[in-house]
């Protein structure tokens, strides 16, 4: 996941960047950071924690300048995660740069090995360091040419924003796998952000999406943004953004996320209608299952009900339940609405099933609350393959759909029936007018250049 943002040409650049990151907090809660540029110097502040915790007034007043880039980090394994926070800053031959990155480089290890064999050092595990090295090794005179050449050696699903002392370079990979949109800030200047939901708080108007393979260059003449098509586009946006990642009020590459999720629910309903299947009520697994459940209800005319309440006070530090209180973790987050559920046949909609353990606990919780039947519907196809394009999925072994058939999973989670969307259904729900990155579902790891 992760979120990136760039603000260019606004005197409140760092403050606007922090508001944009705040709007994209759902894409990463572990760490956050911003680099601003002012008078030829780059200022960076990054730390563990939420945007609202890290970016105090004091921190923002340190981040001087009318341009800024920022990042929310999803998670890292290991002990000292602050070292893996972004932006990554470095001095190199042409001066200072700072980079934020969202995505995953496929040939990271090969490039890294090659760089290391030639004497480079790597201080973190981040892909971003690769790009900085490739830029620094290069001998071109202009940063834009160095970036361009660096990217010819970089295979992956990525969005980068590179900030120098006076410019910003925004790059989206040729497949456009990760989303990236451009907006105009009413109080001046431009914003580039992973999701359009970031535009609202900074009071910006959507201009267009960054094109696959495009590099935008912001420089002091802010009234014209330079655009260079670095690579021939082969558009394959990530279907998972629509299924799960993006905030429902974002528009990703022209498709309204909320609407696509409703379509997924409608399709599930139509599939059930073909089999004449009908439950008593439709209930979402909150919050991400809500739009699909609304779509299902609307299509099927089965009443939509909030049968599960989500508790938003779950903190990070609460007591670990004792042995006899097992299974309590899911109940601390989700509570069944007994009176609605009792004696009913439920159509429960979640966005996806990964390991299966949460789904199993939800079914048990609903049955304990008196549900007569629990019919589980998943607003995505079966996840059979790990994603290597920027999503932190488990190993293939951990994916329940890799190990079990649909029927076996239905038995494992103790549901009365289980249905997924087909891959075709998913494509049609988002929009049949284009090709999607679907590697988690079909194993087509198409990123090769």
Per the annotation, where are the binding residues?
A: 288, 350-351
Which whole-number Å values give the CA distances from 231 to 111, 192, 197, 298, in the listed order? 19, 20, 27, 43
Strand 417-420 relative to strand 373-378, pairing: parallel
Of 55, 218, 376, 441, which one interacts with its own copies (CB under 8 A)?
55
Binding-site annotation, residues for Mg(2+): 288, 350-351
Binding mask 373-412 for its own copies (x = CB under 8 A): ----------------------------------------
Binding mask 154-193 for its own copies (x = CB under 8 A): ---------------------------------x------
Q: Phi, psi (5° rounding) for residue 192?
A: -120, 130
Nearer of residues 145 and 203 to its own copies, judged by Cβ? 203
In contact, 213 and 413? CB cutoff 8 Å:
no
In contact, 34 and 70? CB cutoff 8 Å:
yes
**Least distance from its own copies to the Cβ atom of residue 384, Å:** 30
Q: Which has the closest alpha carbon to 440: 377, 376, 410, 395?
A: 395
Q: Would you count residue 258 as binding its own copies (CB under 8 A)?
A: yes
Restricting to residues 12-41, name those near its own copies by CB under 8 A. 12, 15, 18-19, 22-23, 25-26, 29
User: Tokens 């973790």 identify what position?
Assistant: 329
**Least distance from its own copies to the Cβ atom of residue 269, Å:** 14
- What is the distance between the alpha carbons of residues 324 and 331, in angstroms, rounded to a whole number? 14
3-state secondary structure of 222: coil
Strands (E), 320-359: 334-336, 345-350
Other Cβ atoms less than 10 A from the Cβ of 106: the count is 20
- What is the distance between the alpha carbons of residues 297 and 294, in angstroms, rounded to a whole number? 5
Nearer of residues 288 and 401 to its own copies, judged by Cβ? 288
Of 3, 4, 5, 51, which one interacts with its own copies (CB under 8 A)?
51
The token pair that represents 284 in the structure block = 């979402």
Of 153, 184, 247, 384, which one interacts with its own copies (CB under 8 A)?
247
Of 222, 259, 396, 428, which one interacts with its own copies (CB under 8 A)?
259
Restricting to residues 278-337, name those near its own copies by CB under 8 A. 290-291, 294, 298, 303-306, 309, 311-315, 317-320, 322, 324-325, 328, 331-332, 335-337
Of 27, 71, 137, 360, which one interacts with its own copies (CB under 8 A)?
137
**Least distance from its own copies to the Cβ atom of residue 188, Å:** 11
Nearer of residues 88 and 399 to its own copies, judged by Cβ? 88
Q: Which has the closest alpha carbon to 283: 270, 294, 273, 268?
A: 294
User: Tokens 């049609």 identify what position?
Assistant: 428
**Least distance from its own copies to the Cβ atom of residue 270, Å:** 17
Residues of 46-70 as b/e, b for ≥16 C-beta within 10 angstroms? bebebbeebbeeebbeebbbbbbbb
Binding mask 91-130 for its own copies (x = CB under 8 A): xxx------------------x---xx-xxxxx-------
**Least distance from its own copies to the Cβ atom of residue 413, Å:** 21
Count of residues that bind its own copies according to CB under 8 A: 89
Nearer of residues 32 and 401 to its own copies, judged by Cβ? 32
Q: Would you count residue 77 as binding its own copies (CB under 8 A)?
A: no
Nearer of residues 188 and 233 to its own copies, judged by Cβ? 188
- What is the distance between the alpha carbons of residues 143 and 383, in angstroms, rounded to a whole number? 40
Of 2, 197, 346, 437, which one interacts with its own copies (CB under 8 A)?
197
Q: Which has the closest alpha carbon to 198: 22, 66, 52, 31?
A: 22
Nearer of residues 12 and 352 to its own copies, judged by Cβ? 12
**Residues with a known catalytic role:** 2
What sign does the dihedral 360-361-362-367 (CA atoms) show? Answer: positive
Q: Would you count residue 75 as binding its own copies (CB under 8 A)?
A: no
Rg, Å, the chain Cα set: 23
**Least distance from its own copies to the Cβ atom of residue 436, Å:** 20
Nearer of residues 99 and 399 to its own copies, judged by Cβ? 99
Residue 169's contacts (CB-CB under 8 Å, 6 or more residues apart) are 143, 144, 147, 160, 161, 162, 163, 215, 216, 217, 218
**Least distance from its own copies to the Cβ atom of residue 97, Å:** 9
Beta bridge partners of 3: 72
Other Cβ atoms less than 10 A from the Cβ of 274: the count is 8
């Amino acid at each position: 996941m992760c979120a990136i943002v760039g603000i260019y040409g606004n005197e409140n650049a760092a403050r606007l960047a922090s508001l944009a990151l705040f709007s994209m907090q759902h894409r990463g809660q572990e760490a956050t950071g911003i680099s601003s540029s002012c008078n030829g110097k780059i200022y960076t502040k990054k730390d563990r924690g939420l945007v609202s915790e890290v970016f105090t007034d004091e921190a923002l007043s340190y981040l001087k300048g009318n341009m800024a880039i920022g990042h929310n980090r999803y998670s890292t394994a290991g002990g000292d995660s602050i070292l893996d926070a972004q932006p990554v800053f470095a001095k190199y031959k042409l001066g200072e740069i700072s980079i934020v990155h969202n995505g995953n480089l496929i040939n990271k290890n090969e490039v890294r090995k090659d760089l290391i064999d030639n004497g480079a050092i790597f201080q973190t595990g981040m892909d971003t360091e690769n790009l900085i090295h490739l830029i620094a090794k290069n001998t071109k005179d202009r940063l834009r040419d160095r970036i361009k050449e660096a990217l010819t050696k970089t295979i992956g699903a990525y969005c980068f924003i590179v900030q120098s002392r006076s410019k910003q370079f925004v790059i989206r990979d040729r497949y456009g796998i990760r989303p990236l949109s451009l907006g105009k800030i009413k109080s001046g200047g431009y914003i580039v952000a992973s999701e359009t939901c970031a535009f609202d708080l900074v009071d910006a108007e959507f201009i267009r999406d960054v094109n696959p393979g495009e590099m935008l260059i912001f420089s002091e003449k802010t009234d014209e943004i330079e655009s260079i098509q670095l690579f021939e586009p082969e558009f394959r946006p990530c279907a998972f953004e629509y299924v799960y990642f993006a905030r429902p009020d974002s528009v990703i590459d022209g498709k309204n996320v909320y609407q696509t999720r409703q379509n997924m629910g409608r399709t599930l309903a139509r599939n059930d209608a073909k089999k004449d299947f009908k439950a008593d009520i439709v209930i979402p697994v909150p919050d991400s299952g809500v739009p699909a459940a609304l779509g299902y209800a609307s299509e099927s005319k089965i009443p939509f009900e909030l049968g599960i309440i989500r508790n938003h006070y779950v903190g990070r530090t609460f007591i670990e339940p004792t042995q006899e209180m097992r299974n309590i973790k899911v109940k601390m987050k989700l509570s069944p609405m007994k009176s609605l559920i009792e004696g009913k046949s439920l159509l429960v909609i979640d966005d996806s099933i990964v390991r299966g353990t949460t789904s199993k606990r939800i079914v048990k919780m609903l049955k304990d609350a008196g549900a007569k039947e629990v019919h589980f519907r998943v607003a995505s196809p079966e996840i059979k393959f790990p994603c290597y394009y920027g999503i932190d999925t488990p190993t293939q072994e951990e994916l329940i759909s890799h190990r079990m058939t649909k029927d076996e999973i239905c038995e494992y989670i103790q549901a009365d029936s289980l249905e997924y969307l087909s891959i075709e259904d998913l494509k049609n729900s988002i929009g049949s007018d284009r090709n999607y990155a679907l590697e988690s579902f079909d194993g087509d790891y198409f990123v090769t250049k």
